[in-house]
Amino acid sequence: MTARRRDSALVRPYVVTDGRAVPTRNTFDLVTMVRVTGGAPSGLLSPEKQALLNLCRGGALTIAEISAYLLLPVSVCKVLIADLVDEGLLSTRAPIPRAMRPERNLVEEVLRGLRALR
């Protein structure tokens, strides 16, 4: 390895999650939406948790996106997200089920109507 290797690459996933492999909540999917609640942390956060909060301040992201942006395994992200949800710093919601989405032709009709207003 070169001397320029990032220090975070040296940290093992079990260190980031305090040795836990399973989140406190088992309701997260790859497409679960995550967003910041605006609460203040009760204490110091790990660098990974702080990076996760900063990333989510830009808007809602899926767990898959968070994993990709932070370069962390999905399982690690799920544990960190569960910790932050338990602290009240993040909120999550399942994606909208396909059955509840509007029909494609309705969305296209609305889009045509909006374009006609220009």
Radius of gyration of the chain (CA): 18
Identify whether 1 is part of a domain. Answer: no
Kindly state whether residue 57 falls inside one of the protein's structural domains: yes
Number of domains in the chain: 1
Can you give the pTM of this predicted structure? 0.68
Q: What pLDDT, on a 0 to 100 scale, did the predictor assign at position 1?
A: 40
Position 14 scores a pLDDT of 62
Assess if residue 3 is contained within a domain: no
For residue 111, CA distances in Å to 21, 96, 118 come to 45, 20, 11
Q: Determine the distance from the C-alpha atom of residue 61 to the mean position of all C-alpha atoms in its chain, rounded to a whole number.
A: 5
| Residue 93 placed within a domain | yes
pLDDT value at residue 21: 63
Instruction: Specify the pLDDT at position 2.
Output: 45
- The residue segments making up the domain with residue 54 are 8-116
User: 53: which DSSP letter?
Assistant: H
Contact between residue 33 and residue 95 where contact means Cβ atoms under 8 Å apart:
yes
Residue 50 lies in a domain: yes
* pLDDT of amino acid 19: 63
Pairing of strands 33-36, 61-62: antiparallel
CATH of the domain at 71: 1.10.10
Is 76 a domain residue? Answer: yes
pLDDT at residue 3, as a whole number: 46
Q: What are phi and psi of 19, to 5 degrees?
A: 80, 5
The tens-digit pLDDT sequence of the chain (118 residues) is: 444 444 545 566 666 666 666 676 677 888 899 999 988 887 788 888 899 999 999 889 999 999 999 988 888 899 999 989 988 999 999 877 767 777 888 889 999 999 998 7
